[in-house]
Structures are given as C-alpha cells and as structure tokens.
Amino acid sequence: MSTTASKPVIVVGSGLAGLSAAHEALREGALVRLLDRAPKPGGNSIKASSGINGAGTRFQRALNIPTDDSFYADTVRSAGSRFTENNPPGIDRGSLVEILTSHSENAVNWLADELNVDLSVVAQLGGHSVPRTHRGGGDLPPGAAIVSALLNKMKANPNFTLENSAEVDKLLVENSGAVKGVSYRTSDGQMHELEGPVVFAAGGFAGDVHGLLAKYRPDLAGMPSTNEERPASHGLLSTIGAALVDMDSVQIHPTGFVLPKGAGTSYNIVPLKKEDASHKPADPKSVSTSQLFLAAEALRGEGGILLSGSGERFVNELNTRDVVSSAIMALPQSTDKSMRHWEVILLLDPGACEAAASHIKFYLWKGLVQKVKVRDLAPEIIASIDKYATTVSEHGEDPLGRKSFGHWKLPPGDANREEEVCVGTVTPVVHFTMGGVAFDAKARVLRSTDGGKLTPIPGIWAAGEITGGIHGANRLGGSSLLECAVFGRIAGTEAARSLIVTP
C-alpha cells in the first residue's frame, strides 16, 4: 500500500501558478505550505484583467465561435524565431507549447466547474485567430476572480497553510544536488528551515529594475512598468545550477495608462475642440509615475482603436503585442522627460465600452478614462472615427489589416456626433518576462550538464513567469494565466507524487 510522506509540498509564490500547484498537491493528499514574501497573496495574477485563453471550450461554442484549432500555430507565430532556436540545447519548446495549448480547454473547465469562476465572456486579443480569451461578466477582473476562488477553497482545507511575509532566501540541497527544502525569513526577522519537495512560482523579473532587467535589457532603462519594483528570485535557482533561457525576451505591453505633461485640475486626457472645457479632469496623481495601470488588451479586443497625436490610426490594434508596441515607439516620444514614454489615444465607441463595461467602470473611477461626445473631439479624431466606422459598417477591408472589430457599432457621419466615446492616453510599458528557468513537460527545473545537456534537478519544479521557453520572443495576451494554471497544476501533482512511498 502506498502512502504520502509527512513532509509538505512547499510552494513558493501565491500567484495563480503557486495556487494551482497547491490545489493539485492537496488533491493528491499532500500537506501544503505556501510561502510568499508579499504581505498579501495573489502576485501579479490577481491584477490580470483580460482573461485566460482556452481553445475548444463550451463557452466558445455557445457564442458560435468557429472551431478553434489554431491556438498552437498562433502561439508559435507569436514566439517568432525563438521557437526554432535551441538555446540552451535540449529545451523542447514544441512540447511546452503543445501542453499549454492542448490543456487549455481543461484549464478553463477546471476553473469554471470546480471553482465556479464565471468565464462566459470570450474576446479576441492581439495575435489570436479567433476569440479565445475568457473572462466573466461581473465587476471582478478575471485574475482576482480566479485567485479568490482558489484561496477560498483551499483555506477550508486543514492540510493547507499559507504564510505571507515569508521570504525564501535559500534552497536547501543534498550532497547529490537534489533539492530538499527551503530556508526562509519571516516578518519578525526569524529564520526557518522547511524540508519537502519545492514548487517555485515566484514570478518574473520585470520589476527587478536594477538587477536582472538592467543586466539583460539595459535599453529599457527609464521606461514605465506595470510591475512593482522588487528583486527577482531567479538567483536562488541559478545558484543550484538551474539553466536560464530567453532572458533578453521582455514584453513591452502597448498600453499602460499615462496622463500627458500638464495634467492637472483643468486638463483633459484627449484633444478636444478648443472651446470645450466642460469635461471632468483626469486625476493628476497618476502623472509621472514609473508604475502605471495597465490598459487591458481586452479594450482593443472589444473594439477599441489607437490614434496617434495627429489623430490618425497607425497600426492594426490586434496585431501581436510586440508589433503594436514597436509601432507606437516609432512615433515621436513625449517631450515630458520625467519618464520615457509616448502618448497615444485609446478610444472605444459605445459598443466597445459596453462590452468592456467592468473595465471601463474601474478606469473611469481612477480618472484614467473619460467619456466625451464625438462632437467635442478634435476634428482630426472625428475624421478617423468616421473612416474606421465606415469600414466596420460596410464590412470593408481595413487598410491596416484588422479583421476583427469586436463590438464596435458607432456609425459614421453626423449620426454619431451626439454619441459618447471612452478615451484615455496610453504608452508602451514593461510588462512581462518571457525568459526564466528552463523546465520540461513535467514542470521539472532543468540544469545544464558539462556536456550541455539539460537534465532535471530532483526535488524542484517550477511554473508561471519564473520559467522560460514557452513564449519565445512574445507572449499572447491571455496565455499568462493559462500557463500558470496548466503548469502549476502539473508541478503540484508531480511534487506531491514524489512524496508517495511504498512499504
């Protein structure tokens, strides 16, 4: 008869990857100790706003979305030339992407069926061939809905212990090189050691401004970020020999909210007719900060468009994030030198605003978006709206190549002048790191041998943004939560099963 050893599965990080790992380890009958250095759980996952990808789901079928057999191809296309590179030798990118995409339907079903998370709204984000990014219809963002559902379920399990403000500072290693546990510091300054298999899910390095980000991408210095500034944890893994991959692959998200220079008590966040000064001003507290609120990609997926400072569309808003960001960064940079940024207008018509209502409600409350009547906009913006609205209404060919128009319903011409649109100012922001520790299809952390071959390090698994090798040069929107769920579940299951002993 097989039994589970008394040692716990140790999970480092309480974002979706760590929570998914903990959930599956509990399912296997293991004790779970979840450690996070932050004072509250959730990591970056709790802030995720666009949703989680799933291919072939019942939610897609309910919306008559065409058969979704292109997720793997879309992911490979997004990854670019990195997908065919073999650096370090032996990393199996194809297997990782295959698992990510083929397990996506099951991941969505798990969240919806076992945890009762509403994922019935499906949008098409940049780089996707069909709508496949799932979120709920309520006010709670998808990341927060998923994280809270997992936490609420596991807190009722006596085998689960969550310890916040607990920072892991060392991995404990046997003479053989196998990981046997962790050393960590609690908020009272006390050091503790804990033995058991380890799932490392402590996030990426986009917030490690003066460390790994400066080392691998010094060209990004001075750019704003969606991440809180904090040191990365990759060094703990590389110290035990873990291989790192794609460390220069850093995602610049096209749209973080920013207020232009001069924002204050009488400044509007979109160019208006000179005689109009009746609109509510934006919140000046958001000006000139290095950490910005993300303008969710779902805003563009539901129909939003991007306009240059001259009021013209200049890019297919639903291209991949790297392409859209590059197009924005080819425009003149802001003259405000308090941070390195651009100023592009994000505009949603009433249909898109309604489809993204929960997002818009939050952004309006924060002063990041305004509602403005079309007639009050600058003439060049009105002209661009009319041109785009004509393309949509006549089912014409968009000169910039956009094929999905979301829920845009605004007509062209005088018929739209009294309608209200939602507008904000956005800039590219450092958002996500595709690089990280090398790992395999079983979520085992890999080390490079003297011959260059990658082999698993016994006793340690990893999932989420701490890992590298899946996304290549660019991640598709909606695949961050997905990789956390898919590989977090695999890691938790494998770690728990490593504790099973047979007398």
Task: Check if the beta carbon of residue 498 is closer than 8 Å to that of residue 197.
Answer: yes
Residue among 442, 497, 494, 459 nearest 5 (CA): 497
| Strand positions, DSSP E, 213-331 | 244-245, 250-257, 305-307
Task: Check if the beta carbon of residue 310 is closer than 8 Å to that of residue 348.
Answer: no
- Quote the CA–CA distance of 358 and 361 in Å, as a whole number: 5
- Quote the CA–CA distance of 456 and 494 in Å, as a whole number: 13
Residue among 390, 400, 475, 424 nearest 295 (CA): 424
Residue in the structure block whose two tokens are 């992407």: 97
> How close are the terminal C-alpha atoms of the chain, in Å?
7
Contacts 24+ apart (CB under 8 A), 326-331: 328/254, 328/427, 328/428, 329/252, 329/428
Q: Residues, the chain, total?
A: 503
- Quote the CA–CA distance of 180 and 201 in Å, as a whole number: 17
Q: Residue 304, CB half-sphere, CA atoms under 13 Å: how many?
A: 32
Contacts 24+ apart (CB under 8 A), 191-197: 192/166, 194/8, 194/10, 194/33, 194/35, 195/7, 196/7, 196/8, 196/9, 196/10, 196/33, 196/499, 197/7, 197/9, 197/10, 197/459, 197/460, 197/461, 197/495, 197/496, 197/498, 197/499
Phi first, then psi: give them for residue 423, nearest 5 degrees. -135, 150
Residue 236, both tokens: 């703990």
- Quote the CA–CA distance of 172 and 241 in Å, as a whole number: 13
SS3 of residue 434 by DSSP: coil
- Quote the CA–CA distance of 484 and 277 in Å, as a whole number: 46
Residue among 416, 350, 346, 424 nearest 383 (CA): 416
Give the strands of the sheet with 133-135, arranged side by side: 52-53, 133-135, 121-123
For residue 342, the 8-state DSSP code is -
Residues with a catalytic annotation lie at 253, 300
- Quote the CA–CA distance of 191 and 200 in Å, as a whole number: 19
- Quote the CA–CA distance of 353 and 413 in Å, as a whole number: 20
